[in-house]
Amino acid sequence: MSSLSLDLYKKLFLSRAAEECIMKYYHEDDMKTPMHMSMGQEFIPAAVCQALGERGQIFTSYRSHAPYLCRTDDVEGFFGEMYGKISGPMRGKGGSMHLSNPDLGHMCASAIVSSLIPVVVGAAWANKMKNTDKIAAVFFGDGAVDEGCFWESMNISALMQTPALFICEDNGLAVHTSKRQRQGYKNLPDIIRHFDVHVITSKSTDAEEIHGLVKEAMDVIDKTQKPVFMHLECYRYLEHVGVYEDFDAGYREKEESWYDSGALRVQRQRLLDQGMDEKDIVQLEQEIETRVENALMAAKAEKFPEDDELYEGVFYG
Amino acid sequence: MVKMTFQDALLDATTLEMARDDSVFVYGIGAPDHKNIFGTTTGLVEKFGENRCLETPLAEDSMTGFGLGAAMNGMRPIHVHIRMDFVLLAMNQIVNMLSCASYGSCGKLKAPMVIRAIIGRGWGQGYQHSKTLHSYFSHIPGLKVVLPTTPSDAKGLLTSAIRDDNPVIFIEHRWLYFAEEDVPEGDFSIPLGKGKVLREGNDLSIIATSWMNIEAMEAAKMLKEYHGVEVEIIDPRTIAPLDEEIILSSVRKTGHCIVADNDWSFSGFGAELSALVAEKAFDSLKKPVTRIGFEHTPCPTVRKLENAFYPNAKTIVRAVEEKLGLPKSDLSSQDLFSHERKFKGPF
Ligand SMILES: Cc1ncc(C[n+]2csc(CCOP(=O)(O)OP(=O)(O)O)c2C)c(N)n1
Ligand SMILES: [Mg+2]
């Protein structure tokens, strides 16, 4: 059994287990923060964070549960933040939409669509100027691509050759609106190829396959300092915000094929094929579930910040 | 009269204006989807067709420029934003273009456009989904700025905003959407630039904006109960143009002025009002003007810190007690933040 396969499965399972735990306890109304769930899309952050490892500086959107967990492995801080407690990396100031833990490689998240794309261009440029080995990567959706600042950032990054990693998680939807209703062109990667940017595309939900593509992207960045644009198709299992399915709303059909090819299922089967004992997999899964449940319980029991913390951090230093 | 919520009142005004004038159209991210901007665009596609209630790409600035162009050529756009924070992306078109369309053509071009922006609050909206920023807009010549508080005002003012030949920024607090009252049926408008006395009183004037009027009304009840004090509450409703007279005559009557603004105080609308009162009613003032607003920090997510961030009825009661030299009443039994209980997330 390969350690890569196992590591990827752990990340996938951790992200899924954490969100299942949110679903289990959300109705208690103690996690007062709008949840934009990663469910169904975890394979992208799992693959990206696994490949980047300690070199990764990730920048995310409001949909950042899986990126946060895959990059930091900080389940305890994650739930602390969901409950607004002092054990959260932002001590409750951020919540689900604003996860940030720069010490652990998750730089910040923005709930203003597309607003971190140019930021990553600058971050990557600074890494180049300062000769660090960090790779600045930004996660964004197909909706973010609509914004002018996405196109400006592509141009700037191509022009200045800033070694940024752009990860477009294309789930086909902006809230309830399909790409067809928003985009006057057919094929995004085809357009991006006209920029001086390396383009990688995939429709696969296989985390290990995506991992290989991210490694390819890192190679390009290391050898050429060229920006890389990854267009990765995926499927959002739940409503835009909230913890339920909303297929009855009528704006889209449930597409079973995405579940059949679900990344967790694929990766679990891979472990079995590699000879891992089912019993050991189950045990691993139980350990992760227990860790997640314990982290949630610990967060519930933790203290809220004192009121005077409101003024902390307005200015740095 | 018919009982309507704030959101129904907005929909009613929009529907009536769209029926009356076929150059009126609504557009924005999510405008025609099944959530219908919290029910304020429901049925518009069915009644008026897809060309009059339009979905848009995520492109706030360009879609504002689009509205301006359409307005120049005879349309009456209503651009909806589910959060004020997203309007910030459109500031170039609003401030550099829309606001001076008439001035820049020596009055030959008009830009009859309404920009509806919702202010989020509570349940973890956080620092990127909770801004108000009305003073950003009232600072700009050529823009009208409206913040309705009651359902009737929402209907009457939106109607006038749509009929106005100038750009109007129309700011709606999310929590007000649940308010319900009797609203005039059919054609009904309230002129822009006219304030309203929400409550009469002789002891002190409170000038409040948007949600803070609700807090002020709560505070008024407590002040009457505990101290027998009668405060007067003025809702300017439009802050640009501003109904100076209604404010000044109230302050001249009571000699005391508190501004309870639904935003940060520093450099805000409260500063403008303080200056107005100091310039034009100085001799009537028995004490300096007091400003109440958000704490001067970004808005935190966790409820406990949100409660520390937002002023409420209690903040107003304390400010009045201090100004009038009254002992602090025991407010421990008061059920503050009761409105928040109606508001279960995510939005
Ligand atoms: C600038 C801006 N406009 C509008 C919104 C409201 N909004 C939040 S998420 C979203 C859809 C974004 O879709 P996409 O980028 O594809 O990301 P996904 O939610 O699919 O992950 C919209 C319109 C926002 N947060 N910021
Ligand atoms: Mg999307």
Query: For residue A212, is it within any domain?
Result: yes
Task: Please tell me which residue in B60, B172, B218, B306 is annotated as part of the active site.
Answer: B60
Task: Please tell me which residue in B79, B81, B129, B256 is annotated as part of the active site.
Answer: B129
What is d(CA A169, CA A81) in angstroms, rounded to the nearest whole number? 24
Q: Which has the minimum average pLDDT: A286-295, B144-153, B185-194, B338-347?
A: B338-347
Cis bond before residue A118 (omega within 30° of 0): no
Give the pLDDT band of residue B157 (cuts 50, 70, 90): very high
What is d(CA A263, CA B69) in angstroms, rounded to the nearest whole number? 47
For residue A205 and ligand 1, the question of a CB distance below 6 A is answered with no
**Could you tell me which of A44, A43, A37, A45 has the C-alpha nearest to residue A21?**
A37
SS3 A177: strand
**Hey, are the CB atoms on A32 and B303 less than 8 Å from each other?**
yes
Contact list, A98 vs chain B (CB under 8 Å) = 126-128, 301
In chain B, % helix, strand, coil (3-state, to 5) comes to 45, 20, 35
Structure token digits, residue B273:
């009002």
Domain of A221, CATH number, reads: 3.40.50.970
Query: For residue A178, is it within any domain?
Result: yes
Question: Tell me: the pLDDT tens digits for A186-233?
Answer: 999 999 999 999 999 999 999 999 999 999 999 999 999 999 999 999
Task: Count A/B contacts: CB-CB distance under 8 Å.
Answer: 124
One-character DSSP codes across A208-253: HHHHHHHHHHHHHHHHH---EEEEEE----S-SSSSS--GGGSSS-
Give, as one character, the DSSP assignment of residue B327. P
Give the pLDDT band of residue B334 (cuts 50, 70, 90): confident
CB A292, CB A17: distance < 8 Å? yes
Structure token digits, residue B318:
């304390």
Q: What residue ranges in chain A does DSSP mark as E strands?
A: 56-61, 106-110, 135-141, 165-170, 173-174, 177-178, 198-202, 228-233
Of all ligands present, the nearest one to the C-alpha of A140 is 1
A35 in contact with chain B, both atoms CB, cutoff 8 A = yes
Q: Phi and psi (nearest 5°) for A91?
A: 50, 40
B21 in contact with chain A, both atoms CB, cutoff 8 A = no
Answer yes or no: is pLDDT of B135 > 70.
yes
Tell me, what's the pLDDT at B345? 54
Please classify residue B186 by burial: count the beta carbons closer than 10 Å to its beta carbon, then call 0-12 exposed, 13-18 middle and 19+ buried. Answer: exposed
Instruction: Work out how many domains chain A is built from and give that number.
Output: 1
Residue B129 appears among annotated catalytic residues: yes
Tell me, what's the pLDDT at A1? 79
Tell me, what's the pLDDT at B266? 97
For residue B58 and ligand 1, the question of a CB distance below 6 A is answered with yes
For residue B87 and ligand 1, the question of a CB distance below 6 A is answered with no
Query: For residue A317, is it within any domain?
Result: no
Query: For residue A154, is it within any domain?
Result: yes
Residues in chain B: 347
One-character DSSP codes across A11-42: HHHHHHHHHHHHHHHGGGS---S-----TT-T
What is d(CA A163, CA A122) in angstroms, rounded to the nearest whole number? 10
pLDDT along chain A (317 residues), means of 10: 95 98 96 97 98 98 98 98 98 98 98 98 98 98 98 98 98 97 97 98 98 98 98 98 97 97 98 98 98 98 98 96
CA of A219 to the centre of ligand 1 (A): 31
Tell me, what's the pLDDT at A265? 98
**Hey, are the CB atoms on B297 and A111 less than 8 Å from each other?**
no
Q: Least CB-CB distance to B297: which of A84, A181, A310?
A: A310
B90 in contact with chain A, both atoms CB, cutoff 8 A = no
Structure token digits, residue A84:
């607004």
- What residues have CB less than 8 Å from B338, skipping those under 6 apart? none
Question: Tell me: the pLDDT tens digits for A30-53?
Answer: 999 999 999 999 999 999 999 999
Answer yes or no: is pLDDT of B338 > 70.
no
A53 in contact with chain B, both atoms CB, cutoff 8 A = no
For residue A66 and ligand 1, the question of a CB distance below 6 A is answered with no
Q: Residue A88 is part of which domain span?
A: 3-311
Helix (H) / strand (E) element for B80: namely strand B76-81
Give the pLDDT band of residue B335 (cuts 50, 70, 90): confident
* Nearest CA owner, ligand 1 atom 17: A141
Question: Tell me: the pLDDT tens digits for B22-32?
Answer: 999 999 999 99
Helix (H) / strand (E) element for B27: namely strand B24-27
Chain A, residues 166-205, CB within 8 A of chain B, namely 174-177, 181-183
B186 in contact with chain A, both atoms CB, cutoff 8 A = no
Question: Tell me: the pLDDT tens digits for B301-333?
Answer: 999 999 999 999 999 999 999 999 999 999 988
Domains and CATH numbers, chain B: 2-183 (3.40.50.970), 196-341 (3.40.50.920)
**Hey, are the CB atoms on A182 and B123 less than 8 Å from each other?**
no
Query: For residue A316, is it within any domain?
Result: no
Contact list, B127 vs chain A (CB under 8 Å) = 93, 98
Tell me, what's the pLDDT at A164? 98
What is d(CA A58, CA A50) in angstroms, rounded to the nearest whole number? 12
What is d(CA B30, CA B56) in angstroms, rounded to the nearest whole number? 8
Tell me, what's the pLDDT at B333? 86
**Hey, are the CB atoms on B58 and A146 less than 8 Å from each other?**
yes
Query: For residue A112, is it within any domain?
Result: yes
CB A233, CB A222: distance < 8 Å? no
**Hey, are the CB atoms on A32 and B296 less than 8 Å from each other?**
no
Q: What does the mean pLDDT of chain B come to?
A: 96
Answer yes or no: is pLDDT of B224 > 70.
yes
Residue B232 appears among annotated catalytic residues: no
Query: For residue A18, is it within any domain?
Result: yes
CA of B217 to the centre of ligand 1 (A): 36
Give the pLDDT band of residue B343 (cuts 50, 70, 90): low
Query: For residue A146, is it within any domain?
Result: yes
**Could you tell me which of A42, A10, A37, A17 has the C-alpha nearest to residue A210?**
A42
Provide the shortest C-alpha distance from residue A81 to chain B (in Å).
9
Give the pLDDT band of residue B341 (cuts 50, 70, 90): low
For residue A174 and ligand 1, the question of a CB distance below 6 A is answered with yes
What is d(CA B207, CA B242) in angstroms, rounded to the nearest whole number? 12
CB B233, CB B217: distance < 8 Å? yes
